[in-house]
Amino acid sequence: MKPVRVRFAPSPTGFLHIGGLRTALYDYLFAKSQKGKFILRIEDTDQSREVSGAVESLISSLHRLGVDFDEGPGCEGEFAPYIQSQRLTLYHQHAQLLLDSGDAYHCFCSSETLTKMREEQQAKGEFVKYDRRCLSLSKAEVQQKMESGEKHVIRLRMPDNHRFGFDDAIRGHVEMDASQSDDQVLIKSDGFPTYHLAAVIDDHFMQISHVIRGEEWLSSTPKHIWLNQCFGWETPIWVHLPLILSTDRSKLSKRMNDVSVESYLAKGYLKEAILNFVALLGWHSADDRELYSLDELCDTFSLDRVTKSGAIFDLTKLDWMNGQYMRNLPLDTITERSLPYFQAAGMPIDNTSVLSKIVAAARERCTLLPEIVEYSRMFLERLELEASDKELLKSIDSQRVLAWFSTELPKSAPLDADKVHSLSKLCMESLGLKGKAFYTPLRLALIGVAHGPDLPTIFSILGEEEAISRINLKCEQG
C-alpha cells in the first residue's frame, strides 16, 4: 500500500469556514493516524473570486488551531509550488495532451449562447448540459477562430453510453451514468484551469493517496475518474464526507450562517472545543465518547467511523463543550487566553494572582472567554445596586450584619478561608440570622449582586482592605 498523502485544497475566497475546517481536520487526523502527510494546496484558479489576504488568513487559522500541515505554502516540500496559479504551465501541457488525443476540444460559445441553450433544455425538461455544438468544428475552423482572437475554452469530452463505478471509503460502491455529466470546462477563456483539471493533475503529481472532500463533490467524481483514465493514471481513494446541516436540517450555508472559524475564536470559543466539536460532525468513536484532545483524536480517528448521513451543527452542543473545556483545561491556560478580552475591555489587571483567582471563580459559571470579563466586574468595579437591593440593605437586619462585620473584620486580619467561615458562623449565632438574611446583604455590599461565589472566595479576591472599605461604605449609606 502506498504512503498516505492527503490534501486540503481551499480556494482563497474568504475566511476558513466550519465545513473547510472539518475537511482539513479529517485530513490531518487521518494522516496522523496512518503516519502519513497532510498537504495544504491553495486552489486560486478562479481569480475573480480571490480575496486579498485570504491565503494568509487560512494558514493563520490552521496554525492557531494546531492543525499544522506537513507541506504547503511556507512549508515547501518536493512537490512545490503548492499554489495553483504558479503551476499554469503544467495544466496547459496536459490540456494539450487531451486535445491531441481527442479527449478535449475547443469551445467558442458565448455566455449568451450557453444561457439560451440551458433555458431551452430546461423548458423541454431535459438534463442541462453542453450540447457539444463546437465538437463538430473542423481543425481549420478551430484554427481560424483562434487566429481571429475569438474567446474560447477547452472542454473535456466525456464518454458516451458509459457507466462509472467506483468505491468510496464512506459510501461503499457508487455507480453513476456518464450521461449525467457535462462536458466540463477544463481551461477557461482567461487561460486559467478549472478546479476539475487542476485538482486531478495536482493530486497525481503530488502523489495524493486519498481525496477527502465534501459530499457536494460526489457528482463530479466521474469527470475526475475519466480525466485520470485519459492520462493513464491511477485514481486516488475517494472519501466523500456527509453534509453539515443546520438544526432545521437545511444545508449549512456560508451566506446564511455564521460559519467563519475566526468568528468563533473571536467570540471566545476555545480551539480545543472547536476542534472537538467539528471532529464529531460526521464521526464518532466506538465508545461514543464526546470529549477528546487533539492527540486523542489522532490516536482514535478512522474513516470507517464516519457516517453517510448529514451532521447537525448544534450551537447548544458547542456551548456545552466549550464550558467543559473552560472548566477542565489548566487554569493558567484559561487565564492567559482571557487576557486579550480584559485588555479590549480596558480592564488590564497587573496582579496576576488576583486575575488567576477571578478566572478560577468565573470559569465555573461562564461559557465563553469574554463572559469572564463581565463576571469579573463585581470584583474590579463597585457596581451600582438595583433600587430593590438598595432598600434591602437599608433594612435593620442587613445593617446589623454589615455593622457586625465592619467591627470584627479589622480584628481578624489576616483573613483566610477558615477565618471567613468562623466569622460567618459567629455572626449568624450572635445575630440570630441565617440563610438569605445573612448572605444576601454581605454579597450586595461586597460585590453588588445577591448571587456569586462563596464568601471565602470573595474576600480572597477583593483583599481585606477593599472588602472592609466596601462594607463600611454600605454601613454609612444605610
Catalytic positions, written as ranges: 254
Nearest to 136 by CA among 151, 121, 155: 155
Instruction: Please state the φ and ψ torsions of residue 367, each to the nearest 5 degrees.
Output: -105, -40
Gap between the Cα atoms of 70 and 314, Å rounded: 31
Gap between the Cα atoms of 251 and 262, Å rounded: 20
Gap between the Cα atoms of 283 and 307, Å rounded: 6
Amino acid letter, 223: K
Task: Extract the C-alpha cell encoding 239.
Answer: 472519501
Task: Extract the C-alpha cell encoding 58.
Answer: 487560512
* Rg, the chain, Cα only: 32
Helix, strand, coil share (%) of the chain residues, nearest 5: 50, 10, 35
Angle between helices 352-362 and 455-462 (to 10 degrees): 150
Give 138: exposed, middle or buried? Use CB within 10 Å, 0-12, 13-18, 19+.
Answer: exposed
Gap between the Cα atoms of 478 and 473, Å rounded: 9
User: With contact defined as beta carbons under 8 Å apart, do 461 and 380 qualify?
Assistant: no
